[in-house]
Structures are given as structure tokens and as C-alpha cells.
Structure 1
């Protein structure tokens, strides 16, 4: 059993509180991703679990053991950092086995564990090389291998792919997903990249300013966000948000040339300000005499993104496919199925349901 539980976990630096009473249960064998903007507290929370940051209040348990005041070495965790932190004078094999060697493990045991980690990570051909002879992706695999040989209860990843180029990030994302599938260990992964979160996670924890905004599976958060922040953070490109006003059995959207959008969502009183959210792939456009116009188009091969300017200056992204394209600067009518729209309170930004 290697689940992780945080109960009312708090972190303060002097008078400044950066983690605010976090309650979280991560199940045995689960791949949990902490995601959020820079400065939201995700790395701090990970370091609290690792024991690299002291927990000011509350408690943390791993595998049913209270480890709140335990040393990092006693927690049964292994951490993979953004930087590879490999010893340049050692070979790949020596780097991977160094921690076990320092703890006095027998040579044959070290060799066996390094060989197994090497097999999992496909590093057999590189064991005699030194880090300078490896690519960025290979170095990161060595860093992960160093964690594997320790046989931890929990793997902790702190933005491990942020130093890699785009192609290598995709490759390593697949490697980490395959690693989790093969060894089945509990993994906690920190990233600001919601694409990594969506593709890797069993469970996503969305953080903002030291608070948990929402916890759920990738598709739960995508299809059923609790608030505007989560709706905008999960999904790429992000959801479009437009100011609207309650009118009758729906809302009027000034930015879309006063379009009337019907809904059976429980809306506030007539005339109240709300926010309507529509994902780019749920929108279509056609040429029309309209104050809404296409500003810029991005072509990405089989898909393109039209960046529109609404009647009151709001930005709208529309995902399009096919070779037919409306010229930039053209006025367009924007259309969508009202059932695909989400509605949020203009003041609290909570989802209206």
C-alpha cells in the first residue's frame, strides 16, 4: 500500500501562508498530476510530501504511516527534478546505482536493480556512457532510473520535462506513461502544462494560490469544471469567455452582435451579468455582415485556429478544419449549439448549473 493522504496541510514562510489547508487523497498506484499557473504552490506541495519543505500545520501520510515530521530518507519516496543532477564523471550505470552504493547495498543487488531499471527505460546501450554523451531525453531517463532502483513507495516528479524541446517532451511523456503502466507505482507529477496533465493523469489536482480548485479525472475536469478558472485552464486552446446578460430563458451576448442564447441552466435574476464559456471546437463561423471579424489565422496542418475580435473587443478562438478559409479581416457570424455552452457567475466565477 503506497497511497498518499494530506489532511489540512498548511505551509507558511514566516507570516506568509502559501498552502492553505489542503485535503487530498491519492490512491495506491494512482498517477496524480498537480497542475496550475506559476506560483500556485504545486512544487511546494510536492516538496512537502517529499520532506524537503517542513509542513507548518496538518499532517501527511504515505502508505498509512504519518510522515509529517519524518526525514526525506524515511518516507519511501524518490524524486525526479527538473534538472537531471547527474554526476558528470560517472557512467550511466554508476549514476543509477550510486544511491544504493552509498547506503551499503551489495554489489550484486545494485547490479541487478540497475539492470532492471535499464531494461524498463531502454538504457542498456548507454550504461557505459557518461552524461555528456547523452541527449537531454536520455539524461532524464537516467535520472528516472536512479529513482527506480531505490524501489520507492511513491515517485515524485517536479516538472521533469520542462528542459526538453517539444519533440523530446512528447517522447518522454509517452515513456513516463509506459513506465507507470509497467511498474504500477504511485506517482505524483507537477507541471504547468495542462497537455501533460490531460495525457498522463488518472487524477488531476488544479491549484491556484495555494488552494485546490478542483480534483478529478482529466475528462471530468474538461467536461464538468466547477468554475471559470478550471474551465479555462483545462483544454487547449483554452475556453472562450464572453460577457453576457440574463434575458428571459437565456442570455444575451453583446460581443456576438447581441445573440440570444437559450439555456435551462439556473440563472440569476433578469438583467444580471454572467459569463458564457464556449470551447473553440464547438464554434463555427460563416461570412456575414457583422461587427465580429477574423483578426488572425494560425494554420497547423490539418487544423487551423481563427482568432476573432468580438463586437466589444473580446478575443474568440475558433477551431476549423479543411482547406476552405475565410479571409482575415472578414466579418463573420459565430454559431454554436447552446447545449455546449457553460455559464459562470460574473462575480464569483462559480459554474452555474
Structure 2
């Protein structure tokens, strides 16, 4: 197996630039996830690695090979798409081995590779079935098996779980994580679902409008975001953002009825407006008059309380346990200074 390197990578469609000067190193055997909202360029970037989109400028290396202008079939990658793209008239076994058959591999070798892949993916009992007799999760495993039998240097996944229901998505996330550990291959995975990104990735690449906002381990991005976009995108529910103002004693936060001292942050001049960020689990509720509990989403042991502050700001607070306040109750909010994130109002960059 081998890694992938993107150097000053740019993609244009005519005069429209969709990928902006991406520099990225994906290590050998790493599980790297491209994540971001719809239209951010993550699938385009993946297709550039695959050779399905031309690279306007810059370079793409797979291992030590410059594959920037190499045909997709010669890059040593295998791609799993959102649609399963299985041949309906072929059995599972035939679908998985079709690529090798078309490239002239001996029948015995094809049988051996299909058997190995089906064992890894627990498809041994389904080899003689046709796709219509399979569930969505089983069909996606067949699509992954078709990629495995090719023995690629790099696996590419383009939102492979988008067509599955919630329960199957969880099951397939576990399957893909197990597969990565078992075969140790370099994998690049595209999703708009930050939960998938957090649970699967060794490394996350957060994209917005064709630009890389931040690269890092999942919990590093969660605990130490570089800007408001990353802070709001990584984590579920997303981070709360309210207005703050710098004073001689720290940052006053009208919506939360409190102040942040922020001793380890270099603050802008007194009077400057900033953005204050707090994650839902970092706020504690009690009876008071700072906000009103408008709606509660109950998810069993945890609930998400939707609040409206006296200044009109909206917040989500995570609460646990049986002793919860009722909807319509007026509440006060408390938090620890260490849990607060501060961002520049204009650039949205993190204040450090």
C-alpha cells in the first residue's frame, strides 16, 4: 500500500475555479476523510485523485509516482460510489470478479481473490445471489468487495452510505472501519456527514468552497478548531455562537448573562466585538431569567434543549438525567471559561 500527496492542486471548469491550491499529505495506510457541506468540492477532489477529473494545475502523487496525467485505470486505485453500480443480471460472485475477468486474469486467480474478499466482507452465503435479492447494506458490501479483488494501492469512497437508512449506515460504518483495520490499506472517504468523519477517520480534511479549512485528527479538530466554520461543522449538535464584546475585564456576553476572563487569549482592543462559541454540553441550566426553554428533543438518556435568550439569540444545550426543566421555563446559564472559544468577528479566525 502507499500514500497520496497533492501539491498546489487546482481545478477549473473554464473560468470557474472549484478547487483552490490544495496541498495535502495522506500517509501510507491512513484513513483520510474529506468532509464539508454540499458543493464544497470534496467529491471533485476525490475524482481528481481517481483520474476521473483532469487536474488543471499542480501535481498528484500516489506513492512515488506522479499520476497527474495518468489514466484512471493505471493509477492503482479502486473507487466505491454512492450508487452500488452492480450488474443486475450477474451474481454477487460474478459482479465482484468482473473487473479481473475483463483484464484477462485466470479463472482460478479470480475465484481465489473473490473468495478472499467475500470472507472479509462476510458475503460467503450470498455469492450465488443476484443484487435484487440483497439488502442495501449487502449490495454496498459487494461494491466494496469488487474494489478489494482488484488489489488497489488506494481505496476511494464517494459517499458510499448515503443511500442507506440510519441503522444500516451505522452497521456499514462499523464494517468499513473493521475492513480498514484488517487490510491496512490507504483509504480516502468523502462524506457530508461529520459523524461519519469523526468515527472513521485517522485524519479529517475540512473543505469549504474548494479550499482546505483545516486538517487534523478528529478530536484535534473538535477541541482546537482554527476558525468558526470548523468549530461549527465538527460536532453534533454544532457549536453555539453568540456575540461578545471586549472590556477591560475580559469579554462580556449579553446573551449568556456572563463574562469570559480568557487569560490565555490575546484579545483585540477594548470595545471590539467578537464571536463567542460554546458547545451544547458546556452549558449548565438552572432556574433564572436569562433565556426561555422553548423546545426539548428527548433522545433517551440525553436531551437537547432549544433556548431563546432575552436578546433573541438561540442556543442548544445538552442535558442528561431525569431531573430536567420543563418546556417554557425561564432559565439561567452557566459555563466554565476554559470551555469558551473566541473568534474574530470579521475574519472568523480563532483568537488564541
Q: TM-score range by the shorter chain?
A: over 0.9
**Greater mean alpha carbon deviation, residues 247-256 or residues 179-188:** 247-256
**Cα separation, 2, equivalents of 1:101 and 1:15:** 41
**Cα separation, 2, equivalents of 1:78 and 1:181:** 18
Corresponding position of 1:275: 275
SS of residue in 1 equivalent to 2:213:
strand
Q: CA deviation at 1:313?
A: 1.3
Q: 2:215 aligned with 1:208, yes or no?
A: no
Q: 2:4 aligned with 1:37, yes or no?
A: no
Q: CA deviation at 1:328?
A: 1.2
TM-score normalised to structure 1 length: 0.99
Corresponding position of 2:130: 130
8 Å CA contact 1:33–1:191 kept in 2: the answer is: yes
Cα RMSD between the aligned structures?
Answer: 0.7
Corresponding position of 1:329: 328
Q: CA deviation at 1:291?
A: 4.1
8 Å CA contact 1:256–1:311 kept in 2: the answer is: no
8 Å CA contact 1:11–1:18 kept in 2: the answer is: yes
Corresponding position of 1:169: 169
How many residue pairs get matched?
Answer: 351
TM-score normalised to structure 2 length: 0.99
**Cα separation, 2, equivalents of 1:253 and 1:42:** 36
8 Å CA contact 2:256–2:333 kept in 1: the answer is: yes
Deviations 1:164-210 (A, max 9, x none): 00000000000000000000000000000000000000000000000
8 Å CA contact 1:286–1:334 kept in 2: the answer is: yes
Unaligned runs of 5+ in 2: none
**Cα separation, 2, equivalents of 1:215 and 1:192:** 16
SS of residue in 2 equivalent to 1:177:
helix
**Cα separation, 2, equivalents of 1:227 and 1:291:** 27
**Cα separation, 2, equivalents of 1:249 and 1:154:** 53
8 Å CA contact 2:4–2:28 kept in 1: the answer is: yes
Deviations 1:310-338 (A, max 9, x none): 12211111100011221112111001111
Q: CA deviation at 1:27?
A: 0.4
**Cα separation, 2, equivalents of 1:59 and 1:194:** 28
SS of residue in 1 equivalent to 2:315:
strand
Q: CA deviation at 1:243?
A: 0.5
Corresponding position of 1:152: 152
Matches within 5 A, 1:1-353: 1-257=1-257, 259-264=258-263, 265-288=265-288, 290-353=289-352
Unaligned runs of 5+ in 1: none
8 Å CA contact 2:290–2:333 kept in 1: the answer is: no
Q: What stretches of structure 1 move > 2 A for 4+ residues in a row?
A: none
